[in-house]
Structure 1
Amino acid sequence: MSEILKQQLLNVIEISDQEFDYILSHFTYKKLKKHQFLVQEEQQVMDDYFILSGCVKSYYTDAAGKVHIILFGTKDWWITDYEAYYYQKAATLNIDCIEDTEVLCLSNNNREKLCKELHKVEHFFRKKTNRRNVSLQKRILTLLSSSARERYEKFLSDYPDLVQKLPKHLLASYLGVTRETLSRLYTLK
């Protein structure tokens, strides 16, 4: 399973087998069941999670109790509550498993240690952070300026495999529409 992480690293930086083994030694492995939490609101966030298998959702629940899905995470993705992770604050997000999930966990201390010792690892995380920032900016702009139909079509185009994994109510929440609106969009497809 760790080959997934190795390949992601190799897509950005050059590392030897020995360097990878050293990097991997800074991670811990965790297996979670469907509906288990990686991160819970109001709790400390110690790790960034690299998903080996499964699917998770990151969401915020507003004061009225409405759930707002920020993003989904699946194989080969990184996910955590980054504000809580980087600044040692209590989480404002929840991240739970949509299906049984396996992750590699990297503490902030171990990330900092790796980045200090291996400049190429710092380069890798900078590149990943840049991509995440661009993706989140695009997501916000799409939510602000696109119709429900356009958001749905973009999701189908960007994540065709993910659509099959998701219950319709979760996809509706992610798209910012009601389940009824999603059903209408689905039948127009």
Structure 2
Amino acid sequence: MQGIEEILRRQIEKIVELTDDEFHFILSHFTIKSFKKHQYVVQAGNPTLNDHFVVKGLLRSFYLDEAGKSHILQFAMEDWWISDPQAYHNGGNATLNIDCLEDTQVYMITLENREKLCAELRKMEFFFRKKTQAGYIALQKRIQSLMSQTAKERYDQFLHLYPQLSQRVPKTLIASYLGISRETLSRMAEH
């Protein structure tokens, strides 16, 4: 278990320094859970009670449109966070699905525990604020990319930003993430 705990600690210490006592206090606010490949972590229509920090595995968040077409918003692998932020922060039901593309292990934190943690340890409030800001910036860049870049530019950017994901994620899912067909992706990958 020590190795898994260290992944979370390193994640937090990228932003704030922690004593051993502080880290053990932080850890007491999280629970750890394992999921199997294809298992849902969050399902649309159900409450989203946790934010998830990935220590092992790979997940994707997606929604299904009225025609049943899947649209991938995010992938999350080791050292990344994933949730349905709207449902998590507002207490409503999820509009997104999150499922496992590999066997996965996550640290989970409820909003209640997160709020308690931030109130009692101010450096964690700073940590979560910085993570939220980084998430908003990444989302803005993703939206701008979808609106202004060609399919080839989006694919090249994906390969540049996430080279490890291109080895772990099936091409069909990469195409969905990029908003293009599998055939278009195959043509671009050949060149």
TM-score range relative to shorter protein: over 0.9
The alpha carbon displacement at 1:55 in A equals: 0.3
Instruction: Provide the rounded CA distance (Å) in 1 between the counterparts of 2:48 and 2:14.
Output: 28
The alpha carbon displacement at 1:18 in A equals: 0.6
- Alpha-carbon deviations, 1:45-94, whole Å to 9, x = none? 10000000100000010011111000100000010000000001000000
4+ residue segments displaced more than 3 Å: none
SS at match of 2:8: helix
Q: Does 1:48 align with 2:51?
A: yes
Give the AA of the match of 2:98: I
Instruction: Provide the rounded CA distance (Å) in 1 between the counterparts of 2:18 and 2:176.
Output: 40
- TM-score norm. by structure 1 comes to 0.99
State how 1:11-160 maps to structure 2 within 5 Å.
11-160=14-163
SS at match of 2:60: strand
The alpha carbon displacement at 1:15 in A equals: 1.1
The alpha carbon displacement at 1:2 in A equals: 1.1
Instruction: Provide the rounded CA distance (Å) in 2 between the counterparts of 1:16 and 1:148.
Output: 46
- The unaligned stretches of length 5 or more in structure 2 are none
The alpha carbon displacement at 1:14 in A equals: 1.3
Instruction: Provide the rounded CA distance (Å) in 2 between the counterparts of 1:110 and 1:68.
Output: 31
Instruction: Provide the rounded CA distance (Å) in 1 between the counterparts of 2:53 and 2:63.
Output: 20
- Alpha-carbon deviations, 1:101-153, whole Å to 9, x = none? 00000000000000000110000000000000000000000000000000000
Match of 1:168 among 166, 171, 179: 171
Give the AA of the match of 2:52: Y
Instruction: Provide the rounded CA distance (Å) in 2 between the counterparts of 1:42 and 1:110.
Output: 23
Instruction: Provide the rounded CA distance (Å) in 2 between the counterparts of 1:118 and 1:18.
Output: 12
Over aligned residues, Cα RMSD in angstroms?
0.4
- TM-score norm. by structure 2 comes to 0.98
| Count of residues in Structure 1 that have an aligned counterpart in Structure 2 | 188
Instruction: Provide the rounded CA distance (Å) in 1 between the counterparts of 2:90 and 2:178.
Output: 29
Instruction: Provide the rounded CA distance (Å) in 2 between the counterparts of 1:101 and 1:34.
Output: 7
